[in-house]
Structure 1
Amino acid sequence: MADLDPTRRLCTLFAEALELDHVTPDTDFFLAGGHSLSALALAVSVEEAFGVRVRVRDVFESATPELLAARLAGLAPGTVPSAAAPHRPPAAAPDIPAPGSTPPGTAVADATRWLWLERQRAEGDFGAYTVPCLLHGEGPVDPGRLRAALAALARRHPALRTVFVEFRGEPRAVLTDDEPLFDVVDVSARELSEARFGALVDDRIAVPFDPATGPLTRATLFLRTEARWSLLLLADHLVCDGRSLEILARQLVAAYADPSAAEAPRGPSVPRSTDPEAALRHWREVLLPSPAPLPLPVRGPRTEPAGATTAIAAQEIGPEALRHLTDLGRRHHAGPFAPLTAAVARTLAGLTGSTDICLGTPVDRRALLGAEDAVGFHIATVPLRLDVRADTSADDLVRHVAQRTMDAVDHSEVAFDALVAALDPPRSPGRPPFFDVWVALYPHIDTGPCAPDGIALRGGPTPLRVGMFELSFQFVEHAHGMRLVLQYDTRRYASDTAERIVQRLVDEVTLLLRDPAEPVPAAESAHQAFGGFRFDA
């Protein structure tokens, strides 16, 4: 590509990130289907090609090849900082030695260490640390071939064979030869209703993993009728995240059709250099002074950890509304996450009377780690601090959320526990630092048409009985739209309170999509919606 001018080189990189045959110099990355995750991948590829530091914000503010070329012209070559050595996924490790000898296995990334420590501090049920995915199959399935395909993927992805042992108070990753557990449950002789099948799935999900013994991945094939089957994939969060589920489903289908596909060598890992000090400076500016706890409508004082017992309240967002949400996000250089999060922020502002709303959300860091197709735990927890005022227009709020999300991605190299330690915010019992509410978007998993003598998988994550937060807004895309799921702590919130929160969120989504020329009805006050409930900070 050395003979190409910068704009033409960028057109090629844009097309690769968007998975398009070609783009023109004036193609807007986000209007063409880009979002924060693909913008991160583009930023990394542009940085590698041009040898200058490129942020997601650069793509956000210069969203066409010609605009980004002009922006890059103002950056000095060789400005990629060396900084601290980046973290790499766990590598192969020897067997566990005798106590007191050389440390077992390998050290883990900071984000994995934080998750392991959180798990050690947790009490009771560890089911909140399970990543569940229910996929519905198409095509005649051979259980033996499916088992062999999953075993082949475990050989390709070390995370699926990794366990975690404690050494002097710290986690160490140890690679094993274990294959994921695989079993077949034939329920074709029973006429199971969807509710009874769901209960069967929930029972499997409820069995926690032991990080020290493993295997930390399980699969259950449910044979429901002659032509109807489902696959439940379960993994411990230490070795799996939401994106891993999509990678596993896609590669499982490929390995089922051609076993050699799972043995294809993976490309070299080239992690991007990081600048933790710059990231901490950013977070100090954004998070200090710390956001005040939201006066949410809980039933009593928060005396115990959140999420020990949860339930869900849910509503559907239809395909037409989802299309409009996606279009709204693209107008502001984002995907549907930005308008959905804006609606959550408005909902919480209306409930609490606060204009300072801080949410927690996951950021996929694979592009930064050089691990695009790797299964494992490659996410960072980041706070999104938002200024939500009653007179802010929908467009301005969505733009604000999109900008804060891009900045969070750009400064996600600091693990959450390191961020908390550095900023030292005030602590309250029974709640995490900085935020009370979690928000996440889960894209629909669809491996495409079923090939002859092959299979196809479609589905996505399924809610847990336990959680890590008192309120978790989960937006789960599916083939016919999106499901809005509020997972709530039943010891802190009554079921009718949760239902009202969900309905209010649906109303806020409707308001975001309203024609700007139409009058906006006055928002219902927190006391009107929740009169009689006790607020507790």
Structure 2
Amino acid sequence: MTDLIQELCRLFARALELEYVTDDTDFYLAGGHSLSALALAVSVEGATGVPVRVRDILECATPKLLAARLAEARAGAPDPAPQAAGEPRRAEDGTVPESVRWLWLARQGSHGGGAYTVPCLLRGEGELDVDRLAAAVATLPARHPALRTVFVERQGSPRAVVTDRVAPLDVVDLRDTPLTEDGFEALVQDRVEVPFDLTEGPLFRSTLFLRAGGAWSLLSTADHLVCDGRSLAILADELVDAYGRDGTPSAGPAQGARPAVGRPDGAPSAEPAQGTRPAADSREKSLAYWRGLLTPPPAPLLLPVDQRRSGPAGAVTDTVALGIDPRVTDRVRTLAATAHAGLFAPLAAAVASGLGGLTRTDDVCLGTPVDRRSLLGLDDAVGFHVATVPLRLDLSGHGDPAGLVRHVAARTADALDHGEVAFDELVATLDPPRSEGRGPFFDVWVALFPRIDTGPAEPGAIGLRGGPFLQRRGMFELSFQFVEEERGLRLCLQYDISRYARDTAEQIAARVLAELDRLAGEPEAPGQPPNDSPAPAFQGFRFDA
């Protein structure tokens, strides 16, 4: 047991990026969150040969407690067969993973590809050499085959083809063009909306905006089939590194880099690295989990819409952006750590609780993405490596904030543990009732976008800071997008303008932030009695499912 605890202390420290931890270090209080818990679960399983879930990390958050659970699991279990780490294999026929296939199919019936674009706007720091930056940008597709992948249709299914098509850096000189910030954002929006051709490519492009006073910004835009949110952070770090090497490519492709292709059975194209879990081993268990969670299917939320449904959700959207005070953010982080959760859990809890109070229901189902890189052994890979999952929450019986956040954290951990099933397979298997223009299981999306920050610009180098750039097109009626900033958070509520008036969206966003304040334990104003009553429901709107 002592040797096991020491090994777990080493793995905990690596996952937390700490020099060392003790046997009673709480993973979440030390800075862990759901994705780092997934990485820890995979590394512990690889080191011990005992299956480990994110739920195990959630319930046994110290090396000592986890060692006891692993020892119990080992008792009476057969010795695991040795597992060799193999080289990544690629399908010769270009078969794509199930998650990519689902996204490709969803695009075919959508109102346009703009909703499936992943744009990122970064503010540049440091004295810029445009030629060096262009050379550095050119190294990114060379390292990541996904950025050179295009998709062709074969008998109604997508096939991935890796090409040598690369878009050079596009330079837009605005130094002599007076522009307000709104005018600049409109110019960026126009660039973002230039469509991608999936069959021709390239599906990744970069635009440099030179502005007055030596300021500059870099817009990276990719099709979602070859890029996700985590990919943007990876690319920013690599771009800064390549710039520091005068655009000289590093040796070979990135570790874990692969095109967006898979094996004919739908499993990922790369063989799971040592310690990762093959998807086929737990597929049936995962389907059973989702069947139990989503049967009967969640009822549509009776949201306070202003107009009846017409056409697909999110065809044209607008955004309400509200800042979250840094002091509130600090209290939210504390609540998350004490509830053994990452920052996402209290944010999703606030959305669920706010909408639950608004619609008078305890059964709220949200959609969210989960990153599966650690399970696939592709921690540094660029591509589409996320799964869409329904997060069905039971708000009854969770009167205290920590209890509600723990419930959300547990459901998130279970979603990570059962993320092998692609969303379209889940829909096809469970076959929930659907109405025109409405997606299955949920109408509301919630996501957290960590801030991209490559650090200060050293002499002769550059730095990049920023995050996602919100678009005019979406995929959902309401999308709650929390964006980390240098201090605090910002809630960007993207809403379907064919369904909601702006003042309605503003009230919904304000209600969610009020709920976040309540969950985080916002102090009462001096001399004011505590207010334990729930916020009043909206009045005067037509509730239309």
TM-score (norm 2): 0.91
What whole-Å deviation, never above 9, does each CA across 1:205-257 have from its counterpart, x for those lacking one? 11121111110001000111343110000000000000000000011101111
Distance between the aligned counterparts of 1:390 and 1:190, measured in 2? Answer: 58
1:139 aligns with 2:126: yes
**Local SS of the residue matching 2:150:** strand
Task: Show the counterpart of 1:273.
Answer: 278
Contact 1:161 1:180 survives alignment (8 Å): no
**Local SS of the residue matching 1:294:** coil
Structure 1 residue 261: Cα displacement: 5.8
What whole-Å deviation, never above 9, does each CA across 1:332-355 have from its counterpart, x for those lacking one? 111111111111011111111111
Q: What amino acid maps onto 2:307 in structure 1?
A: G
1:11 aligns with 2:9: yes
Task: Show the counterpart of 2:540.
Answer: 532
Structure 1 residue 117: Cα displacement: 0.1
Q: What amino acid maps onto 2:438 in structure 1?
A: R
Contact 1:181 1:215 survives alignment (8 Å): no
1:214-363 mapped onto 2 (5 Å cutoff): 214-258=201-245, 259-260=247-248, 262-267=250-255, 270=273, 272-274=277-279, 275-363=282-370
1:58/1:229 CA distance change after superposition, 3 Å: same
Distance between the aligned counterparts of 2:80 and 2:421, measured in 1? Answer: 18
1:239/1:501 CA distance change after superposition, 3 Å: same
**Local SS of the residue matching 1:74:** helix
Structure 1 residue 449: Cα displacement: 2.0
Task: Show the counterpart of 1:199.
Answer: 186
Structure 1 residue 36: Cα displacement: 0.2
1:166 aligns with 2:173: no
1:186/1:521 CA distance change after superposition, 3 Å: same
1:420 aligns with 2:431: no
Distance between the aligned counterparts of 1:409 and 1:80, measured in 2? Answer: 23
1:79/1:490 CA distance change after superposition, 3 Å: farther
Distance between the aligned counterparts of 1:393 and 1:334, measured in 2? Answer: 15
What whole-Å deviation, never above 9, does each CA across 1:99-120 have from its counterpart, x for those lacking one? xxxxxx5100000000000001
Structure 1 residue 260: Cα displacement: 4.7
Distance between the aligned counterparts of 2:487 and 2:56, measured in 1? Answer: 34
1:112 aligns with 2:69: no
Structure 1 residue 196: Cα displacement: 1.0
Structure 1 residue 145: Cα displacement: 1.4
Equivalent of 1:459, from 466, 475, 478? 466
Contact 2:398 2:404 survives alignment (8 Å): no
Task: Show the counterpart of 2:530.
Answer: 519
**Local SS of the residue matching 2:169:** strand
Distance between the aligned counterparts of 1:332 and 1:43, measured in 2? Answer: 19
Aligned positions, number: 515
Q: What amino acid maps onto 1:443 in structure 2?
A: P
Contact 1:254 1:261 survives alignment (8 Å): no
What whole-Å deviation, never above 9, does each CA across 1:235-284 have from its counterpart, x for those lacking one? 00000000000000011101111245633554466153121101001111
Contact 2:135 2:248 survives alignment (8 Å): no
Structure 1 residue 452: Cα displacement: 2.0
1:211/1:507 CA distance change after superposition, 3 Å: same
* Structure 2 unaligned residues grouped into runs of 5+: 257-269
Task: Show the counterpart of 2:382.
Answer: 375
Q: What amino acid maps onto 1:227 in structure 2?
A: G
Q: What amino acid maps onto 1:112 in structure 2?
A: V
1:112/1:67 CA distance change after superposition, 3 Å: same
Equivalent of 1:27, from 11, 25, 28? 25
What whole-Å deviation, never above 9, does each CA across 1:148-189 have from its counterpart, x for those lacking one? 112112111110000010000000000000113420011011
Contact 1:51 1:78 survives alignment (8 Å): no
Structure 1 residue 314: Cα displacement: 1.4
Distance between the aligned counterparts of 1:395 and 1:59, measured in 2? Answer: 18
1:89/1:488 CA distance change after superposition, 3 Å: farther
Contact 2:483 2:491 survives alignment (8 Å): yes
Structure 1 residue 403: Cα displacement: 0.6
1:396-407 mapped onto 2 (5 Å cutoff): 396-407=403-414
- The CA RMSD over aligned residues, in Å, is 2.1
1:265/1:183 CA distance change after superposition, 3 Å: closer
What whole-Å deviation, never above 9, does each CA across 1:62-98 have from its counterpart, x for those lacking one? 111111111110113568799xxxxx999486xxxxx
Contact 1:150 1:180 survives alignment (8 Å): no
Task: Show the counterpart of 2:262.
Answer: none
Distance between the aligned counterparts of 1:329 and 1:412, measured in 2? Answer: 22
Task: Show the counterpart of 1:99.
Answer: none
1:90/1:110 CA distance change after superposition, 3 Å: farther
1:356/1:226 CA distance change after superposition, 3 Å: same
* Structure 1 unaligned residues grouped into runs of 5+: 83-87, 94-104
What whole-Å deviation, never above 9, does each CA across 1:17-76 have from its counterpart, x for those lacking one? 111111111111111110000000000000110011110001111111111111110113
**Local SS of the residue matching 1:132:** strand
1:454/1:58 CA distance change after superposition, 3 Å: same
1:391/1:237 CA distance change after superposition, 3 Å: closer
Contact 1:219 1:234 survives alignment (8 Å): yes
Structure 1 residue 376: Cα displacement: 0.2
Distance between the aligned counterparts of 2:459 and 2:81, measured in 1? Answer: 50
Structure 1 residue 146: Cα displacement: 1.4
Structure 1 residue 460: Cα displacement: 0.3
1:448 aligns with 2:455: yes
Distance between the aligned counterparts of 2:244 and 2:149, measured in 1? Answer: 26
Identical positions, percent: 59
Q: What amino acid maps onto 2:137 in structure 1?
A: L
1:306/1:440 CA distance change after superposition, 3 Å: same
1:51-130 mapped onto 2 (5 Å cutoff): 51-76=49-74, 91=90, 105-123=93-111, 125-130=112-117
**Local SS of the residue matching 1:534:** coil
**Local SS of the residue matching 1:5:** helix
Contact 2:255 2:381 survives alignment (8 Å): no
Distance between the aligned counterparts of 1:91 and 1:496, measured in 2? Answer: 51
What whole-Å deviation, never above 9, does each CA across 1:346-380 have from its counterpart, x for those lacking one? 11111111110000000000001111000000000
Distance between the aligned counterparts of 1:296 and 1:514, measured in 2? Answer: 27
Contact 2:328 2:522 survives alignment (8 Å): no
Distance between the aligned counterparts of 2:193 and 2:173, measured in 1? Answer: 20
1:182-193 mapped onto 2 (5 Å cutoff): 182-193=169-180
What whole-Å deviation, never above 9, does each CA across 1:305-325 have from its counterpart, x for those lacking one? 100000011110122111111
1:180 aligns with 2:159: no
Distance between the aligned counterparts of 1:352 and 1:89, measured in 2? Answer: 48
Q: What amino acid maps onto 1:50 in structure 2?
A: T
